[in-house]
Structure 1
Amino acid sequence: MKGHPGTGKSTIAAAIAAVLQCTLIDKDDIRDATLFLSSTATSSALNDLSYDAMWRVASTQIRLGLSVVVDSPLSRRHHLDAVRRISGETHRVLIVECRPSDEGEWRRWVERRGEEDGGVGHKPATWQDMERLLEGYDGCTEYDVGEVPRLVVDTTNCGVDGVLCSVIEFIENHCGDHPS
Structure 2
Amino acid sequence: MEKQWPQMIIAMKGHPGTGKSTLSRAISTCLQFPLIDKDDIRDNTLSLQSQYQIPPSTLNDLSYLVLWQITETQLQLGLSVVIDSPHSRRANLNKLVELARAYGAHVVIVECRPKDEREWRRRLEERARSGGDKGHKPATWEEMGRIMEGYNGCWDYEIEDVKKIVVDTTARDEQEKLVNMVIDFIKSSIVV
CA RMSD of aligned residues (A): 1.2
SS at match of 1:57: helix
Residue matched to 1:54:
67
Given the alignment of the two structures, is residue 143 of structure 1 paired with residue 157 of structure 2, yes or no?
yes
Counterpart for residue 4 of structure 1:
15
Equivalent in the alignment of 2:82: 69
Which secondary structure does the structure 2 equivalent of 1:97 belong to? strand
Q: Which residue is 2:26 aligned to?
A: 15
The counterpart of 1:87, out of the listed 97, 100, 111, is: 100
CA deviation string 1:49-79 (max 9, x = no partner): 0000000000100111001000000000100
Query: Amino acid of the residue matched to residue 168 of structure 1?
Result: I
Q: Which moved more, 1:148-157 or 1:168-177?
A: 168-177
Q: Is the 8 A contact 2:43 2:134 kept in 1?
A: no
How much does 1:120 deviate?
4.1
Aligned match of 2:182 in 158, 162, 167? 167
TM alignment of 1:98-137, pairs within 5 A:
98-117=112-131, 120-137=134-151
Distance 2:135 2:29 in 1: 26
2:5 alignment partner in structure 1: none
Cα distance in 2, alignment partners of residues 84 and 144 from structure 1: 13
Structure 1 ranges of 4+ moved more than 3 A: none
**Structure 2 runs not aligned, ≥5 long:** 1-11
Report matched runs for 1:31-46 at 5 Å: 31-39=42-50, 40-46=53-59
Shift of 1:106: 0.1
Q: Could you tell me the TM-score, scaled by structure 2's length?
A: 0.89
Once the two structures are TM-superposed, the CA of residue 176 in structure 1 deviates from its matched residue by 4.4
Q: CA deviation digits over 1:159-180, x for unaligned, max 9?
A: 3222111101112223344xxx
1:105-147 alpha-carbon deviations (Å, 9 max, x no partner): 0000000000011764201111111111111111010100001
- Structure 1 unaligned residues grouped into runs of 5+: none
Q: In structure 2, the residue corresponding to 1:125 is in which secondary structure?
A: coil
Query: For the structure 1 residues 118 and 167, does the alpha-carbon distance in structure 2 shift closer, same or farther, using more than 3 Å as the test?
Result: closer
Q: Which stretch shifts more, 106-115 or 84-93?
A: 84-93
Q: TM-score if structure 1 supplies the norm length?
A: 0.94
Aligned length: 177
CA contact (8 A) 2:38 2:85 kept: yes
CA 1:49–1:162: 2 relative to 1, 3 Å? same
